[in-house]
Amino acid sequence: MDTETPCTTKDKLLFAAATTITVGNGERISFWENAWLHGRRPRDIAPAVYNISKKKNRSLREALVNNNWVRDLDLHNVCFSAVHFSEYCDPWRQVSQETLQPDIPDNIDWKLTADGTFTTKSAYDAQFLGSTSTNFENLFWKAWAPPKCKVFSWLAIQNRLWTADRLSARGWPHNDRCVLCRATPESGIHLFADCRFAKRIWDDISTRLEWRVYFRQHGNLSNRWGSGGP
């Protein structure tokens, strides 16, 4: 049974970006997957060479012994070409200059905490770096409404409802036309903003609540949603 911790490509990229590796004996470092070679992963430096390696899970120590990482390359691979030669030269030159220190363990520092120690919280927070915040919590989850209405609204504003355009993109059975006006292909934008029946409903709501609702000509569902206040 395979007992390795499951990691996605995204997990590995995050680990590579968030760690600083100091090479010691090479036992804790993955030759291909860790960013030990001047802050870069060998698989990123030479992706074509990585693809023809028959043993991608070697540690750095194992890979450097007798140049095993070179011996692992499948030179009879049907995809083997001049691209592999050109990619091979740069990592080979850098790897050949690397010297392990048998009595010193590898050191891996986590960049996202002050003391360099990994925490699940810092890894979780890192996945949201560069993202923008929304007011969904107040707009949906804290509003008074039945739970099914909250979920429906949350999906709608992200254009994740199963409208005809999304069903069509997946090749699933659907009715192309809007079931209300029967004149225009159905989409989230049309269903909530452009359809003449939807506009009548919004106008009626805005009149009753003394709101002003604006329908713009361009934009996605979230920024075309009616704006205004009581």
Phi, psi of 22 (to 5 degrees): -110, 115
CB 27 within 8 A of CB 103: no
What pLDDT score does 15 carry? Answer: 87
**Residue 193 above 80 pLDDT?**
yes
Residue range 96-102: mean pLDDT, rounded: 91
What pLDDT score does 50 carry? Answer: 95
Query: What is the band of 187 on the pLDDT scale with cuts at 50, 70, 90?
Result: very high
d(CA 70, CA 53): 8
What pLDDT score does 142 carry? Answer: 87
d(CA 177, CA 165): 10
What pLDDT score does 163 carry? Answer: 93
CB 62 within 8 A of CB 31: yes
**Residue 13 above 90 pLDDT?**
no
Residue range 170-196: mean pLDDT, rounded: 90
Residue range 155-159: mean pLDDT, rounded: 88
- Residue 229 three-state SS: coil
What pLDDT score does 5 carry? Answer: 61
**Residue 230 above 50 pLDDT?**
no
**Residue 4 above 60 pLDDT?**
no
Mean pLDDT of all residues in the chain? 85
pLDDT tens-digit map of 111-145: 999 999 999 999 988 888 888 777 877 888 888 89
Q: Helices in 46-81 by DSSP H: which ranges?
A: 47-51, 60-64, 68-71
The residue ranges of every structural domain in the chain are: 9-126, 136-224
What pLDDT score does 216 carry? Answer: 45
Residue range 81-97: mean pLDDT, rounded: 91
Q: What is the share, in percent, of the chain residues with pLDDT greater than 90?
A: 53
Q: What is the share, in percent, of the chain residues with pLDDT greater than 70?
A: 89
Give the range among 1-5, 19-23, 148-152 with minimum mean pLDDT. 1-5
Residue range 185-205: mean pLDDT, rounded: 89
d(CA 168, CA 164): 6
Residue range 70-82: mean pLDDT, rounded: 92
Query: What is the band of 205 on the pLDDT scale with cuts at 50, 70, 90?
Result: confident
Q: How do 19-22 and 107-110 pair as beta strands?
A: antiparallel
